[in-house]
Amino acid sequence: MFDDVYGTPEKFGLTPVGELSADLYYEFSILAVWQRTEDGVLFWETDSGCSCPSPFEDMTSVNELRRVDDVAKFVREARAWVSGQDIKRDDVERLIRKVRRLAKKWEAAA
């Protein structure tokens, strides 16, 4: 078994921040956000598929994740990804608030 950013984030120097997951039957559709432990930089990515593979199992490097350099852009893309999926709006807004708060801390420390 190989390590991946979702199953073993600590091996990549990442801490999970949160995720949005559609309620699907024998499938997954996930948007996940991580924070790099050493410097607080935020990353995110989405993955979907049937229940056979594990989420994000092909992502074995931080370089495969999208960096949150522009929080407004992340918010637009996250909301677009959520559109049409069975995800509660409150969950979406909660994750967005958390990303905004962590991004402000990271920017202030940089």
pLDDT tens by residue, 39-91? 999 999 999 988 777 888 888 899 999 999 999 999 999 999 998 888 988 99
pLDDT, residue 66, reads 96
pLDDT, residue 105, reads 76
Q: What are phi and psi of 83, to 5 degrees?
A: -50, 125
Is the per-residue pLDDT at 12 higher than 80?
yes
Query: How far is it, in rounded angstroms, from Cα 35 to Cα 67?
Result: 10
Average pLDDT of 84-108?
A: 88
pTM of the predicted model over 0.85? yes
Q: How confident is the model at residue 107 (pLDDT cuts 50, 70, 90)?
A: low
pLDDT, residue 99, reads 97
Is the per-residue pLDDT at 110 higher than 60?
no
Query: How far is it, in rounded angstroms, from Cα 36 to Cα 27?
Result: 28
